[in-house]
Amino acid sequence: MAADNRSPVTVIGLGAMGRALAGAFLDNGHPTTVWNRTAGKGGELAGRGATVAATVTEAITASPLTVVCVLDHRAVREVLDPVAGSLVGRTLVNLTNGTPCQARETARWAAAHGADYVDGGIMAVPPMIGRPESLVLYSGSPEAFTAHEPAFGALGTALYLGADAGRASLYDIALLSAMYGMFGGFFHAVAMVGTEKVPAAEFTPLVVSWLNAMIAGLPAMAKAVDSGDHSTADSNLEMQATAYVNLLDASRDQGVSTELVEPMRELLDRGVTAGRGGGDISALIDLLRTEPT
Ligand code: FVH
């Protein structure tokens, strides 16, 4: 694809994700400059047309848009703090995983150094980058998002969540919470059947079909959460708390650790104690809310 009308982009951080991001920009014809703390990771990208910058400043000043994707928030600041002056008048997009508080702090830091700031959350693994199923969440400067939206399109589907720089991270962390909950349930399930030599691959189609059936109920549960109406004629919380004890007893009987499933028992019991036993399990959401630290 011709690069002439594509805006230059800089990618800082060439781990698995940074390399995928830079590769997607190159595939879409963006003149792409890359930098990584440890030299040598840009070789393959250079072969595809990327410019490997010798310094972070050289990388940032090569493009109006710099995308940073390193290990964590601390790494972002270690890389960018010493070269903050070179960001003046440019846009910084931070796709490093972090918390909403960290995103807001970086937004303030970028503003203090004259840079437009957009924070992001990547809901994809590296091989998905560039495909429509790769969802990237953005929030922060609306002007910067609009100006660089065509470049963001190279990475997959771009979803802008508003001017609060912390919002993309909040959604990212919330979606990851749902994912890890599912992984935890899956690990426990295959550990259980594995104690009787049932291969995970044989059992997993049943898990997938069961989870799909349960997922279909989430929109109704979301309505109950939003409305506060947790009434149910079907599967009330007290019934589920009683049945859940069997899940724990069976796990111990089979020799499977209960560490992944114990917290839900505690929550179910708290729900019953709080007088929510006759309602839907969605009532548990009220018990999860605590004062921010
Ligand atoms: N890979 C994935 O599946 C997930 C998908 C969703 C988004 N995450 C987040 O993306 C960030 C980067 O992840 P990654 O997969 O690229 O991670 P690594 O392959 O481990 O590469 C880490 C890069 O960070 C650089 N780095 C680490 N510490 C520093 C530092 N103090 N100063 C400068 N750079 C640093 C590291 O450089 P080097 O070790 O090669 O010198 C790599 O470039 C991450 O937030 C995920 O949660 C990925």
Whether ligand 1 lies within 6 angstroms of the CB of 290 is answered as no
Return the amino acid letter for 226: D
Per-residue pLDDT, 4? 57
Range of the domain at 77: 9-163
Length of the chain: 293
Q: Give yes or no: residues 136 and 37 share one domain.
A: yes
Ligand 1 mean position to 70 CA, how many Å?
A: 4
Within a domain: 2: no
Where is the domain boundary, 163, 185, 205? 163
Q: Are residues 95 and 201 in the same domain?
A: no
CA distance 159 to 99: 18
Residue 70: predicted pLDDT = 98
**CA 71 / ligand 1 centre spacing (Å):** 3
Distance between Cα 182 and ligand 1 center (Å): 24
Residues 39 and 64 in one domain: yes
User: How many domains are contained in the chain?
Assistant: 2
| pLDDT value of residue 285 | 94
| pLDDT at res. 25 | 98
Across 241-260, average pLDDT: 98
Same domain assignment for residues 158 and 13 = yes
| 137 — pLDDT class (breaks 50, 70, 90) | very high
Question: Is there a single domain that holds both residue 43 and residue 187?
Answer: no
Task: Say whether both 91 and 183 belong to one domain.
Answer: no
Other beta carbons within 10 Å of 112: 9
Q: For residue 41, give the ligand 1 atom closest to its CA.
A: 40
Is residue 133 assigned to a domain?
A: yes
Give nearest CA residue, ligand 1 atom 44. Answer: 71
Instruction: For a ligand 1 pocket test, name from 17, 81, 171 the mutation site with the most ligand atoms within 8 angstroms of its C-beta.
Output: 17
Segment 245-263 mean pLDDT: 98
Could you tell me the CATH number of the domain that includes residue 262? 1.10.1040.10
- Give the per-residue pLDDT at 2: 42
What is the residue whose two structure tokens read 């019934």?
A: 239
CB 157 within 8 A of CB 132: yes
* Structural domain contains residue 120: yes
Residue 219 and residue 252 in one domain = yes
Of 67, 80, 70, 59, nearest to 13 by C-alpha is 70
- Report helix, strand or coil for 72: coil
| Res 264: pLDDT | 97
Judge whether 293 lies within some domain.
Answer: no
Residue 18 CA: which ligand 1 atom is closest? 16
CA of 68 to the centre of ligand 1 (A): 10
Alpha helices, H only, the chain: 16-27, 43-47, 56-61, 73-80, 100-112, 142-152, 167-194, 200-215, 218-227, 237-254, 262-273, 284-288
The stretch 183-192 carries a mean pLDDT of: 98
End-to-end CA distance of the chain: 50
Q: What is the pLDDT of residue 157?
A: 98
Query: Same structural domain for residues 195 and 257?
Result: yes
Q: Residue with the nearest Cα to atom 10 of ligand 1?
A: 96
Q: Are residues 65 and 208 in the same domain?
A: no
Last residue of a domain, one of 163, 189, 211: 163
> Does residue 3 surpass a pLDDT of 60?
no
Q: Are strands 135-140 and 116-123 parallel, antiparallel or unpaired?
A: antiparallel
- Using alpha carbons only, give the angle 217, 218, 223 rounded to the nearest 5 degrees: 105
Q: d(Cα 69, Cα 158) in Å, to the nearest integer?
A: 16
In the chain, the amino acid numbered 84 is A
Q: Check residue 292 and give its pLDDT.
A: 83
Average pLDDT, integer, range 3-21 = 92
Indicate if ligand 1 lies below 6 Å from the C-beta of 239: no
Among 163, 187, 204, the domain-final residue is 163
* Residue 95 pLDDT level (bands cut at 50, 70, 90): very high
Domain check: are 128 and 36 in the same one? yes
Q: How far, in Å, CA of 64 to CA of 223, rounded?
A: 43
Q: Which atom of ligand 1 is nearest to the CA of 13?
A: 43
26 Cβ contact list (under 8 Å, min separation 6): 32, 45, 48, 49, 50
Q: What percent of the chain has pLDDT over 70?
A: 99
Domain-embedded: residue 157 = yes
Q: Of the candidates 13, 12, 16, which has an alpha carbon nearest to the alpha carbon of residue 125?
A: 16
Q: Are 12 and 153 in contact (CB under 8 A)?
A: no
* Same domain, residue pair 15 and 79: yes
CATH (domain of 132): 3.40.50.720
Q: How many CB atoms lie within 10 A of CB 193?
A: 18
ipTM of model over 0.85 = yes
Spacing, Cα 49 to ligand 1 middle (Å): 22
Residue 197: which pLDDT band, with cuts at 50, 70 and 90?
A: very high
Mean pLDDT computed over 35-58: 97
Closest Cα partner for 33 from 16, 15, 55, 17?
Answer: 55
> Does the beta carbon of 16 sit less than 6 angstroms from any atom of ligand 1?
yes
Whether residue 141 is contained in a domain is answered as: yes
Q: What is the pLDDT of residue 290?
A: 86
Together in a domain, 124 and 105: yes
pLDDT mean over 150-169: 98
Give 9 Cα–ligand 1 centroid separation in angstroms.
18
Q: Is pLDDT above 70 for 1?
A: no
Mean pLDDT of the chain: 96
Tell me the pLDDT tens digit for each residue of 200-243.
999 999 999 999 999 999 999 999 999 999 998 888 999 999 99
The alpha carbon of 120 and the centre of ligand 1 are apart by a number of angstroms equal to: 14
What average pLDDT does range 95-102 have in this prediction?
Answer: 98
> By mean pLDDT, which of 30-34, 58-62, 286-290 is the weakest?
286-290
Question: Which phi-psi region, left, alpha or beta, contains residue 177 (left: φ > 0; alpha: ψ -120 to 50)?
Answer: alpha
Q: Is there a domain that residue 254 lies in?
A: yes
Q: Quick one: which atom of ligand 1 is closest to the CA of 20? A: 16
Residue nearest to atom 47 of ligand 1 (CA): 97
Residue 3 falls inside a structural domain:
no
Amino acid at 70: V
